[in-house]
Amino acid sequence: MMKDWQQFERNTIETLAEEIGKLEMPFKLFEPEEKMPVQILVTILDDLGEKEQSVKLEICFLPIEEEQRKDASFNYIQFFSILGNDIRQETAESLLKFINYLNTVLPIGNIALGENDKILCMKYRFPLLQNMNKEQVIMMMDAVLAVYIHTLDTYTDAITEVAAGRLGADEAIRYCISGDNRGERQ
């Protein structure tokens, strides 16, 4: 028998899958397994930035040990997107400088380098109260997801240009300050 928190997580992810399906966005639901003991919803966000890039979005609840759940009335959900992989060492320093700047101005989430500075990603974690009903979950997720997508749309071009070494951190920061977050050279 599922515990209340497990049922809440399953219902929330399945509700999100239904809502994404209504938007005619492709998605796939991955069931929990030993390696990753949570359900994961994966979709593709298309047409981000001026370069109309596609980014995979993974949505899941963070796995929490049973012992830690005793007093918890909420569950943490995470949005996670890989913006680049196999980052070259020669661009890493400039990219880290730009990431540090971005993480001070992003409305939500953070950009990070992971897996030995080879994977460039954006993630955002936030709590959902377990007593929220379906409509409340949809409203909150809609608002948060809209800001997450807007953030990706605004900064993806500049981030990937710096990661590829086509734009330096200082130049990308100047573009962001001037309001041209696309990273396009004039």
Confirm whether 132 is domain-assigned.
yes
Dist. CA 3–CA 161, nearest whole Å: 46
Dist. CA 13–CA 4, nearest whole Å: 14
User: 123 is written with which tokens?
Assistant: 């993630």
List, for the chain, all residue ranges whose pLDDT scores fall below the cut of 70.
2, 69-72, 180-186
Model pLDDT, residue 186:
44
- For residue 16, count CB atoms less than 10 angstroms from its CB and return exposed for 0-12, middle for 13-18, buried for 19 or more: buried
Model pLDDT, residue 118:
83
Confirm whether 184 is domain-assigned.
no
Confirm whether 25 is domain-assigned.
yes
Confirm whether 174 is domain-assigned.
yes
Confirm whether 186 is domain-assigned.
no
Q: Tokens 């949005």 label which residue?
A: 79
Find the CATH number of the domain harbouring 105. 3.30.1460.70
Dist. CA 36–CA 88, nearest whole Å: 28
Confirm whether 106 is domain-assigned.
yes
Range of the domain at 62: 4-178
Confirm whether 167 is domain-assigned.
yes
Q: Evaluate whether 80 touches 125 at the Cβ level (below 8 Å).
A: no
Model pLDDT, residue 37:
86
Query: pTM for this one?
Result: 0.88
Model pLDDT, residue 110:
96
Q: Which long-range contacts (CB under 8 A, 24 or more apart) does 168-176 make?
A: 168/94, 169/94, 169/95, 169/97, 169/98, 169/101, 170/97, 172/98, 173/98, 173/101, 176/101, 176/102, 176/105
Domain count, the chain: 1
Model pLDDT, residue 182:
53
